[in-house]
Structure 1
Amino acid sequence: MSASHPVLSVRDLTVTFRTSRGPVRAVDRLGFEVRQGETLGIVGESGSGKSVTSMAVMGLHTGAEVTGSVALDGQELVGRSERELNRLRGRRMAMVFQDPLSSLHPFYTVGEQVAEHHRVHFGSRRKTARERAVDALAEVGIPEPRRRAGEYPHQFSGGMRQRVMIAMALVCEPDLLIADEPTTALDVTVQAQILELIARLQQDRGLAVVLITHDLGVVARVAHDVLVMYGGRAVEQADADALFATPAHPYTRGLLDSLPRLDDSDDAPLRVIPGSPPSLLTPAIGCAFAPRCPQLVGVLAGARSRCETELPLLDGPARHPAACHFPAYEGMAS
């Protein structure tokens, strides 16, 4: 890991929504860092808190209580006014969402929409911003960028629309890029192209990247470090090589076991983690994964009481902590 200071530093981040059925703590005391030129992959099932985390970093939650610390290049973001955050969004940090068609306005050309970001943050003239937009479209691999800048979103394929969104995010050369499920709606071939594009742009620009996904296969391709979330909390953190070689938390092992394998027969059933994610309206006293944990069967049945009543903390080796009372690297059979 680079010795430079982190571009993004998150400490004790907690996000709580007030609902008619009671408070929902969607993110609970989360912490991580991302440095220049590195990619952090945040993974977990739907409802684990991944997207809530990314929106909190960008300051996009309205009506939610956000506490803790989110620092961008040492500058605290929690508690900043909307006006101050607007100056940073796009200019210093940018986000690419899952569905580019819903993020692009159908009434304006893609060139106008990319150029608008440059005009807002730099006060550039229309012609200058237009030229910068064409350059950005070329940089992300849009063929004939000058001609295509004059076209509308519906004239682009899904993969090309996502390239436009990446161009829009990077036109102001931010330090941090958050990509929230950027390839979920794309086929495998286009998905690979988008991931390679993000990796190339990161290398060329020295970007810090946070990649939000439910797919560990995607993480394996591009991430340097991995944060696994479950029930709004971090359950395991490690560099990608260590996590894939020796996953410590049973939830991480379950996610890895769910990946299709090349040696599977055509009629082999998909492997799944039994049960459902926990309800955040009634948080568990102990480990939220305990009701689904395969380790609490057979030889470890006597440990169930501890797992159900004692909250495991993110602990263990400094470079590979896990929130589990019986992590695999302590010799526990998987």
Structure 2
Amino acid sequence: MDAPRPTAPADPRQATPLRDAGEPLLSVRNLSVTFPTQHGPVRAVDSLDFDVHRGRTLGIVGESGSGKSVTSMAVLGLHTGAQVTGSITLDEQELVGLTERELNRLRGRRMAMIFQDPLSSLHPYYTVGEQIAEHHRVHFRSGRAAARRRAVEMLAEVGIPEPQRRAGEYPHQFSGGMRQRVMIAMALACEPELLIADEPTTALDVTVQAQILELIARLQQDRGLAVVMITHDLGVVARVAHEVLVMYGGRAVEQAPVDTLFAAPAHPYTRGLLDSLPRLDDPDDAPLRAIPGSPPSLLTPAPGCAFAPRCSRAASAAASERLRCQTEPPVLSGPAGHASACHLPTYEGAPS
């Protein structure tokens, strides 16, 4: 019997119908990111494609080292020294190849990012109000008084009590959850169209995590934001995402609507991630089920499927199919709306 899967609350996702289906706000095509190292080039992201529409959330999920954060940083042009190839368009404007000055005009104004650790992202020597106000002044050339009012407005919008007073406080005077709210306020102060959230709830307890996710969902509905949620937590994906991109070894291994992916994962890696979740019917002392083996080395990529050495489906397949998994890279394909990069996929209605 399959483990119960977490499901997203109905309201946040149903309240944001797909708009401009033919014209995504963010479109990524054949994106590759390669870092030079003393041991040779490392391709951290390889031939990645995805779209994000206004009012929708794309969840990007995978183990550490799968390329999730590298992808998000590439969208904002934050990689120094890396070779970025392919195409990244924001509302049909090509971002790959823009100068640092051109990117600075877009960062914060049209696209913004919430980082994992707000304490390291906020400057300890300036008040939170000053930091939000400075962000607004840079992009709108506003005066100090107007920028300060905007900072207080944003603190109030993200649910920080007594925003006028707390704008004059320093990051260390805020709890972890409140600091993350400050980061959201800063990210949205200039009303961007695209919000990238990189593990925004990892360091928070479950209650505060739920509050932050509900806040992002509400702000998305109010503003029609396109959101990319980077996470390793499938519970977060189930709660907020409309579509899901599963990454492994720098490549996309499965793409599907969130309900489809949780109900009928096609790729064995996705199945392994879901099976590693705690089950409600497990005894309290039951060990968690882990995917055997380790993620692949990106210095010496395998000639075939990167997941083949860890894949029980490939191990139990016929010799010819097993050889294909080991030598031939799979291509992302499948039924409309549900693509998998696997030689032995299982779709809904097929045996797993």
Identify which of 39, 42, 46 aligns with 1:28: 46
CA drift at 1:333: 3.3
Aligned to 2:187: 169
CA drift at 1:264: 1.8
Aligned to 1:156: 174
1:24-78 Cα offsets, whole Å, 9 max, x none, are 0000010100000000000000000000000000000000000000000110000
Aligned to 1:65: 83
User: Is contact 1:13-1:68 (8 Å) kept?
Assistant: yes
Question: Equivalent residue of 1:85, what SS?
Answer: helix
Change beyond 3 A, Cα 1:320–1:216? same
Structure 1 residue identity aligned to 2:129: G
Aligned to 1:95: 113
| TM-score, normalised with respect to structure 2 | 0.93
Question: Equivalent residue of 2:131, what SS?
Answer: helix
The answer to whether structure 1 residue 49 and structure 2 residue 84 are counterparts is no
Aligned to 1:313: 331
How many Å separate the matches in 2 of 1:297 and 1:83? 51
CA drift at 1:330: 7.7
The answer to whether structure 1 residue 3 and structure 2 residue 41 are counterparts is no
Structure 1 residue identity aligned to 2:165: R
Question: Equivalent residue of 1:328, what SS?
Answer: coil
CA drift at 1:3: 3.1
User: Is contact 1:17-1:24 (8 Å) kept?
Assistant: yes
Identify which of 270, 281, 296 aligns with 2:288: 270
Change beyond 3 A, Cα 1:19–1:123? same
Aligned to 1:122: 140
User: Is contact 2:59-2:241 (8 Å) kept?
Assistant: yes
User: Is contact 2:20-2:54 (8 Å) kept?
Assistant: no
Aligned to 2:210: 192
How many Å separate the matches in 1 of 2:349 and 2:127? 58
Structure 2 residue identity aligned to 1:37: G
CA drift at 1:297: 3.2
Change beyond 3 A, Cα 1:332–1:306? farther
CA drift at 1:301: 5.3
Identify which of 305, 324, 327 aligns with 2:345: 327
The answer to whether structure 1 residue 239 and structure 2 residue 257 are counterparts is yes
Question: Equivalent residue of 2:20, what SS?
Answer: coil
CA drift at 1:279: 0.2
Question: Equivalent residue of 2:41, what SS?
Answer: strand
Count of residue pairs the alignment pairs up? 334
The answer to whether structure 1 residue 296 and structure 2 residue 309 are counterparts is no
User: Is contact 1:16-1:64 (8 Å) kept?
Assistant: yes
Identify which of 89, 93, 116 aligns with 1:75: 93
| TM-score, normalised with respect to structure 1 | 0.98
Identify which of 275, 279, 289 aligns with 1:261: 279
- Structure 1 residue ranges, 4+ long, deviating more than 4 angstroms after superposition: 299-302
How many Å separate the matches in 2 of 1:300 and 1:167? 55
How many Å separate the matches in 2 of 1:205 and 1:330? 35
Structure 2 residue identity aligned to 1:190: V
Gaps of 5+ in 1: none
The answer to whether structure 1 residue 12 and structure 2 residue 33 are counterparts is no
How many Å separate the matches in 1 of 2:320 and 2:348? 18
Change beyond 3 A, Cα 1:61–1:299? closer
Question: Equivalent residue of 1:15, what SS?
Answer: strand
Gaps of 5+ in 2: 1-17
Question: Equivalent residue of 2:190, what SS?
Answer: coil
User: Is contact 2:264-2:348 (8 Å) kept?
Assistant: no
Aligned to 2:14: none
Structure 1 residue identity aligned to 2:20: A
How many Å separate the matches in 2 of 1:300 and 1:237? 26
How many Å separate the matches in 1 of 2:300 and 2:135? 42
% identity of equivalent residues = 80
Change beyond 3 A, Cα 1:192–1:37? same
How many Å separate the matches in 2 of 1:297 and 1:235? 18
CA drift at 1:304: 1.3
Change beyond 3 A, Cα 1:252–1:130? same
Question: Equivalent residue of 1:202, what SS?
Answer: helix
User: Is contact 1:326-1:332 (8 Å) kept?
Assistant: no
How many Å separate the matches in 2 of 1:32 and 1:80? 20
CA drift at 1:261: 2.0
